[in-house]
Structure 1
Amino acid sequence: MILSDNVEQVLHSDIVRLQACLQRVSGDSSGPEEGSDAWLLLSALIGNDGVTDQSFVERFEQSGRWLAEQGGKLDGRLHGLQQYIDAFVTELNDIFHDQPQMLAEATTRLSQLQSSSAIALARGYQGVTDQYKVDSSHTTQQLEHRLIALQRINGVSNSVMDLDQTLEITAQAVAEELHVELCSIFFYDEVQRVLTLRATNGPRPLGGMHFTLRLGEGYSGWVADKGRPLLVGDALADANYASEAHAYPTDLHGLMALPIIFFGSAERLIGVISVQSLEPREFTRDEISFVEVVAGIVAINIENGRLYEQTDEQLRRKVHELATIHRVSSIIASTLNLDEVLQIITTQAVHLSGAERSCIFELDQESQKLHVLAHYGLNSNLASTIQIGVGQCCAGRSVQTGRPSMAVDCFQSDESCFLRNDPFVSSEIHSVLCVPLKVKQKILGCICIYSNHRHLLSPEQMQLVITFANEAAIAIENARLYEETRRGSELKSVLLRELHHRVKNNLATVAGILSLQRRRTKSPEIRATLAESVNRVQGLASTHDLLAHEDVSEARVDEIARKIVGVAHTNLCPPDKRITFQVDPSPVVIPSRAVTVLALVINEMISNSIKHGMKDKTDGAIVIRGREEDGTVIVQVLDDGVGPDFEVSLGETAERSSDGLGLSLIKNLIADLHGKFSLRREMVTFTLSGRNSQEEAVPVERTVSEVRFPLTRHSHS
């Protein structure tokens, strides 16, 4: 609706009045300001040129959009419009109080402007808020999608995949998420100071995966050198970066490159990650943040892998060190070859400490000089002539103080250093570690480790050398103790052999005296008793003769039996009887305390077989057997004579009033060995010496005298 010319004339004539009412509403001292809601309402109402109904609506619609973009409230704006309309209505009523038709026309126009402005304002405001909702929904979806991409990248980084496969999947996920044609990941080599391509999702540069860049070369080299991101809308248009961009078979323009940095105790450059697009492109802050997060995941993954490798290597080294120490300890425990043990210690100390040479010195307590026992990497002629005084050189000072010592480049200035005599070696060696060899606070020498590096050994390496020093000290002390024990044992053996020899001679003298007494007596009973005594004494003499020639601490059962058989055959066999003796081989070895007891027991068992078993026979056979069963020694004397009237079984405490002297001796003697004696008839199988060994052995009944005693149980002294 357009006002009539009469109404517009009246309103134009009262424009100052209308402006004043708007000023009262807004509280301004002037105005209204051009472009404001009040100014637009007034201009549209009075029909100012330039403010048409269309421009009026467009301006309010734009105003509504600005309001929404600035976060303003639509209700407050509409309330302000209503205040302006109310002020206009009041003034129009005053202006046209006596012209109702013109008043109706003006108020109708004002109402139309109010409606149009409110609708346009709301429409502009709603358009922006609707767009915000769309954008928010899109942003939410994009964030969710990127979160899924990050989860995928993090998942493969924590998987058991190898590193190259993990990086390929990471590059592919980044390219798909940012909708770019290329994502590349470079690793930085700190030693060679170059970047090497490790993964891409698409086209590869000339040279493939062996493509390398120096620091500052291309955009990746620039990022690695500067340590900050690089964003270029068109990389091909920039001569500084075109060299790397042209390395790819496809022209790529848009570029974003970020450093991969691990932020630990100290920042460390891992590499560079870059994304490139076919078309020129300006990457958003969100896209940059996404790639920064990916770079952080890659950095952590690489650092974790490096730490894992270091830890794994340390564990392998520790296991190797422990295995070496265990092997050296086992050798020390299993051998008394001091030269072999010390050579192993010097060799392993060098290998495990990372040094090149080592030397073990022994201290001569009398001369207070150190000489070389074993060495590795030194000249043998030089080592054989080394004589170091206590307090001289690093080795002598370590022995003097009893504490480990380390030094760097001390060989040239120390005139007492033995290495000065070999300029070739001293020119290569730069550091030394000396550790004293201690056993119970007694210093036996020292071990020295020589390295070509100009740095001190680490605490772990030093502790390892100290461990080897302890092993060397134990080996030296064990060798000394063994030598002392060996000398003592040899002396003891000589003395015991001499003792057994003298006892044998004394017993032979006693036997001679008894034999002389037997020949002088006329009583047959006394002669028989003396003969038995002579036989017993000569049996003991033969046993001591055996111990005088064998190991003084033990003897074989069959050797004992042969000695006793020789004596019994001479002293006990009557001239009218032909008795054959056989001693079966028996490798059972018994201790010396049991030897004399068993000799007397076997003598009594043979004497009993001859006296009672062969009483009514002219021919007979006696067999002596010995064996071991479950730690028990079993010795049997078997004869083919007349068996006993009753079986005899004597334990450690058995008593029989009818026992003869022989059985009483056996009982008391075998009790001293904690053993048992039995006499019985049983079926036995054996072949006597001299018979056809091919004949089948036939079981026959024989008289068996048997003793049993434990092999490992010590008898009472």
Structure 2
Amino acid sequence: MELAQTTTSSPALSWALGILDAPRKMTVIRIRWPLIIICSYLLLFSQLRWVTPATTHAFLVVYLLSNCALYFVDERRFETFSFHALLIVVDTLCLSASLVVSRGAGPDFYLVCFVTIFLSSICRSFSALLGIAILAPVLYAYFLLKSGEIGDLTVYLRSSFPFTIAIFYGYFAQTEWLQKISKEQAEQFAYRKRAEEQIRRNLDRISTLHEIGSAMTSTLDLQTVLDLFLEKLDALLPYAAAVIRLYNPATGELEPVASRKFDGSPQKLAQWEKELGLTGVVFQTKAPLVVRNARADPRTRHVAFLQAAHPISYLGVPLIVKGKAIGDIVFYSNEEREFGGEEVQFFTALAGQAAIAIHNSQLYERIVKANKIKDEFLGVMSHELRTPLNVVVGYAQLMKEQMLGEVNPKQAEVLQKIVDRAGDQLSMITDLLEVTKMEGESERLVTSEVGLVPFLEDLRSSYWVPVEKDLTLRWDYPSDLPVIKTDSEKVKHVLQNLINNAVKFTQRGAVTISARCVPGSKKVVFQVADSGVGIPQEHLPLIFERFHQVDSSNTRAFGGVGMGLYIVKKFTEMLGGQVVVESEPGTGSTFTVTLPYES
């Protein structure tokens, strides 16, 4: 019996279920015995002469044997409504016949029986049913006392009749009602379980979408993105193999780029699709395609080939970005598999995420490749431009120093301008070359012992004041600066860029270059201060960015490409130091470079 399998919230219902949860077969047989006994007594005490004792005895024997025969009926028959209905009809006919034959029952008796049967049939509480079964004989006894039939023996037989029919009909009514309640609750429970399972699946899918999205956006390397995607898919489709293919515009073909649990060659998959008539269908239609059984599919051209091949079920999902297909994902299973609508929809959403990640990775690869080509081009061009410029500067310097013949003052002035402008060009090309090295991550530190005093003396000897400017270069450093270990070329480049900027943006006044060691720490501080045009406060956070210039207009008064301070910051960071700037428009700027060193 399945009545107690569903948990209920009603104590009364639970109590009733506990009582009625006895084996149905034995309960029905036991309830029928009182009914049979009462019918037997009513018939034995009948007053009709046309009913012979032999007939009565034969009927009673058959009625008694019918209940005995129930012991041999299969238990499962007692669980069916039709069997219950048959028993109720038979017993009702027997009861009716017994009452008719026994005679003597008045309208009060039939009224009590009718009310008892009616109330027992509609009663929905087991305790109330017991109350009806007890009150029904009491009510009948009340009618008997009023009728004066106390002396009739059949009255006492009939007095137990309402109790018996209340239990008999009430049991079947209660059983059917409880079965109905139990069935409804079971259906509600099953519905709730299905809803919970659906919610769990949806949460799992949302979680998987989030995990796959997070994993694939954590890197821009295409192969890593593909491997991460297939790894996550393996947890969702442990029974299926997967192949990701991307469209190659050069060949016009879909080329496999990643696979999982795929035990064949790309050619094998292509042949399998060709025999099934699916070549490029998903990619061309931009829609998912499901084949439950490839061997029974009407599009199959050569069934013999597919019987020899392993794949049976097929699911193809397009990879679409901005309405354009860039490839597809193919799932196949060696066993027949029904890919449901929700499953296909979910994998289409996954493919959408994968397509975006793949597209971003492809864009990143193109950018990296373009940057590499650009860096190679700048490196080659910088080297090729430096060679002729060095020649120009060298010959102009020789002519200026009259090593190739005498020159007049006007010519000397022109030659100086040539040397200055060529030097500016050479400095810009050197900056471009250094930036190219940094972007290509080929720049390395080369440390050596550097005497700071000789280093600054050598740097000082390479600078002179342009004749067209009312400017003074001041060098301020003590003579006891230590010998340190650092990359002298990078330190020199940093200071040259700062000094060149200071000279360029200062028309009159002074540019002061100073160096000091910080007491109590192994740090050296270089400072380049000028009395030039200064830098507006809003530009200070941006001046160390590549190509940034305070005045970027075509009519700006100062030249350059905006790489000098970018190199200063990068080289300073490579040396483990920091650079800060203080500036005020119209007053000047002070750049401070602090570098750690080893003795």
| TM-score normalised to structure 2 length | 0.49
| Higher relative helix content | 2
Larger radius of gyration: 1
| Higher relative strand content | 1
